[in-house]
Structure 1
Amino acid sequence: MSETRRDDHQEAPEAAAPGAGSRAGAAGIAAWQGELYKDLHRHPELGHQETRTASLAAGLLRDFGYEVHENIGTTGVVGILRNGEGPTVLMRADMDALPIAEDTGLPYASTDTAADGHGGTVPVAHACGHDVHVACLLGAARLMAEGKASWAGTYIALFQPAEEVADGARRMVDAGLADLIPRPDVALAQHVLAFPAGQVRTRPGAVLSSADSVKITLHGRGSHGSMPQLAVDPVVLAASIALRLQTVVSREVAPGEFAVLTIGRLSAGAKSNIISDRAELELNIRTFNPATREQITAAVRRIVTGECLAAGCPKEPEFEFYDHYPLTDNDAGATARVSAAFRRHFGAQAAGLDRQSASEDFSEIPDALGTPYTYWGLGGSDPEAYAAAESAGTVTQDIPANHSPHFAPVIDPTLRTGTTAAVVAAMAWLARD
């Protein structure tokens, strides 16, 4: 670590120069950034397919004067801006989109499709806001380059692939990320969420849940629909398991302890008069406590295995765990420092963030680098529409959230706020005294 690193709890001054994070600086790039965002939104790419987005980011970083590394863990990009002795700050943005058909009606809406890796073609849209993250980080990277007189140290802009499939961060780490960049003193990330644009919200400690997906294959005995006595019916078995699993959280997890168990897919059979010989369920488990995660995982195995035994299945069930997201657990010192900087800069628009049941793989990067991190929320909803929905008690019905086909952050002030927040947070370490 740099010898000039400040104590995590010390409140560092933020720069006032327009090129390094003031509102004037962010406003000065608004037109360029707005067009950049629309382009990204119009051309989304699935995880590990972000070649266009990555190329665009790498080209702009070179234009800004960064040392650039590409194709890290497939499409990952890193830009390094060295500016003398001082701390090293890493800011990350994820790049990938979702296999969702956009239904926003925007003039720059996506109509793209892509191969889904399973031989099919799917619609693609930035329904989670990663285009906002990329545009904000590129804006911040430009402002940091233009404002080098107001800070000292090293700024790293990292563009990560495949957050939505939970392995983009890990692939960058496994591809030798630690050998390409100086070790950061702090790592930063933000995510646009469905609260009012213009706000930034922080939280120390656990902020995003861990998550695990599980594919369960049940083995029955097939038969003609007219001769059920000859079968071990996997449809009945799957239905029984689906109902029984709903009791895990309600009857085995202590009240007040957060846990979610969702069955997202149940598949069996091909025709009404055929009893299939197998069924598949896919589950998603989310927790904040590792012990609760282990408890639920054990309960799932126990219930599924027990139901299969009771049904007389010819083979034991198969369990495939995939798409593991680690707990996002914000460092208390780093979060306190960023929160203080946000309060100074944004005033009442800086607030506390509720714990989120969504999940992320960002923490794989700072954990692998041995770096403290903080991850905050960025508002993206129209403030007037949100206020009206809040007054009417209809926020959940009227304000589209992430992964909705209707999710569409307002460009202003979302981009301006996200760009400014990225710079203000970095300057909490890098600003010249």
Structure 2
Amino acid sequence: MRYLLLATALIASPALAEPDYAPAVKADYDASLAAMWDDFHRNPELSFKETRTAAKMAAALKTVAGMRVTEKVGGTGVVGVLSNGAGPTVLVRADMDGLPVEEKSGLANASKVRQTGIDGVEAPVMHACGHDTHITSLIGTARRLAALKSRWRGTIVFIVQPAEERVGGAAAMLKDGLYTRFPKPDYALAFHSNSEGLAGTVSASEGIQYSSSDSVDITIPGVGAHGASPHTGKDPVYMGAQLVIALQGLISRERQPLAPGVITVGSFHSGFKHNIISDEARLQVTVRANDEETRAKLIAGIKRVARGVGEMNGMAADRMPVVTVIEGTPTTINDTPLARRLNAVMAQTLGADRVLPFKQEGMGAEDFAALVAADTGVKSYYFDVGGTPQAVFDAAATGGPPVPSHHSPLFKIAPEPVIVTATIAMTAAVLDLLKPAA
């Protein structure tokens, strides 16, 4: 409903004069960026395996006048530095990895790629989260800012980041000297396409933008036996089923009701045959929170409940379930004064009706948080760019197909409004932060 109201407001509102570089962005999309997006969408790559994507991004950045490009930062990461005299330093980041998802979007350029990930598992690969639009827009933004050097002073660091989907790429680039080998930013900017947002609109929080995320592996030892004689073994599937249910008690009975938190078991594997009780079950769990206290309490609770399931089933002390946090990222929080400043820039650039109040619809997470952690001193601004046309929302509201979520095999967004809007918006934000002193 809010999208219908917004569309009505857009029609009723007087047109805002576009910035003078907007036609150049649109022309660049038609001439080059559309084909670039098409290529990236057809050829996604898994986290830390983005060698083709990184090479193409490095080649594109090298064509930008004055850009100094370094490859293989933090694995497959690419860094481009564009300097233009004395002034602040702004980091502009785009993530480039795809997901192990078989694309069923129906798009003409749907991915057919399969790839073996760093875990050794071969899987279909899809850009099911819009990262192909992020990296394409980064190139568009770099080209515009290089062409507008008379309007800014300072340094821009363009980051093509690997492995956001494993929430490890930002940390890997930092470990490889992102803030020591290259100019350390005063500000860090990024955007994410949003399938739940109306195409051509933007939104950004003046506080928390994304939740924390922790990936947790749980191994449940058992005692193998014949399926017809369960009393002779210890069934890890049964114990795992108990644990799946018990974990939700942490959410419903131990989490403070007004403190957001999610525990989702995304994978449960055990055994190979109908009539064999296996000797191990493996669970993969994601944990989300909006504050560090809740985050720590949920992870500690998972460890406690897992041990309790082992004890309840009579497992020996050295055969208890093992809980391992394999990767995680804290909350992504925008710097409040910076967000207010740049939200105003977005309204001036795009029109107030295209800047929506930010609403956290779910508990998505971002490893961009590592780039702007409190100990870095870097100020953060992260915004969403809507990617779904009004007609798609209208069809869904009248019984048509629902709007696919991110990470769905059906995921698809309209690339042109995302890439063009994001490029104009990011260019405007950087120009504001680097505008020469009067």
Normalised to the residue count of structure 2, the TM-score between the two structures is: 0.90
Which residue of the partner structure matches residue 9 of structure 2?
none
Which residue of the partner structure matches residue 379 of structure 1?
386
- The CA deviation at 1:304 is 1.4
Shift of the 208–89 alpha-carbon distance from structure 1 to 2, 3 Å rule, reads same
Is contact 1:17-1:150 (8 Å) kept? no
Which residue of the partner structure matches residue 50 of structure 1?
50
Q: How do residues 88-167 of structure 1 correspond to structure 2 at under 5 angstroms?
A: 88-167=89-168
Cα distance per residue 1:331-368 (max 9 Å; x no partner) = 11111111010011111101122124111101212336
Which residue of the partner structure matches residue 364 of structure 1?
370
- The CA deviation at 1:297 is 1.5
Is contact 2:226-2:276 (8 Å) kept? yes
- The CA deviation at 1:16 is 8.4
Shift of the 106–313 alpha-carbon distance from structure 1 to 2, 3 Å rule, reads same
- The CA deviation at 1:393 is 8.1
**Structure 1 residues without counterparts, runs of 5 or longer:** 1-14
Q: Distance in 2 between matches of 1:411 and 1:206?
A: 26
Q: Distance in 2 between matches of 1:409 and 1:121?
A: 26
Shift of the 276–343 alpha-carbon distance from structure 1 to 2, 3 Å rule, reads same
SS of residue matched to 1:47: coil
Q: Distance in 2 between matches of 1:416 and 1:279?
A: 47
Q: Distance in 1 between matches of 2:99 and 2:278?
A: 32
Which residue of the partner structure matches residue 10 of structure 2?
none
Q: Distance in 1 between matches of 2:272 and 2:415?
A: 46
Is contact 2:25-2:420 (8 Å) kept? yes
Greater Cα offset, 216-225 or 167-176: 216-225
- The one-letter amino acid paired with 2:392 is A
Is contact 2:103-2:410 (8 Å) kept? yes
Q: Distance in 1 between matches of 2:257 and 2:435?
A: 46
Greater Cα offset, 229-238 or 67-76: 229-238
Which residue of the partner structure matches residue 30 of structure 1?
29
Q: How do residues 70-89 of structure 1 correspond to structure 2 at under 5 angstroms?
A: 70-89=71-90
Cα distance per residue 1:222-270 (max 9 Å; x no partner) = 2222322222222221111111212211111122220101111222222
Shift of the 151–332 alpha-carbon distance from structure 1 to 2, 3 Å rule, reads same
Q: How do residues 328-343 of structure 1 correspond to structure 2 at under 5 angstroms?
A: 328-343=332-347
Cα distance per residue 1:126-181 (max 9 Å; x no partner) = 11100100011100000000111121111111110111111111110011111222
- The one-letter amino acid paired with 2:421 is T
Which residue of the partner structure matches residue 173 of structure 2?
172
Which of these residues, 406, 410, 425, is aligned with residue 410 of structure 2?
A: 406
**Structure 2 residues without counterparts, runs of 5 or longer:** 1-16
Shift of the 239–429 alpha-carbon distance from structure 1 to 2, 3 Å rule, reads same
Q: 1:353 aligned to 2:330? A: no
Which residue of the partner structure matches residue 60 of structure 2?
60
Is contact 2:82-2:155 (8 Å) kept? yes
Q: Distance in 2 between matches of 1:98 and 1:64?
A: 29
- The one-letter amino acid paired with 2:258 is G
Greater Cα offset, 128-137 or 152-161: 152-161
- The CA deviation at 1:59 is 1.4
Q: Distance in 1 between matches of 2:246 and 2:119?
A: 31
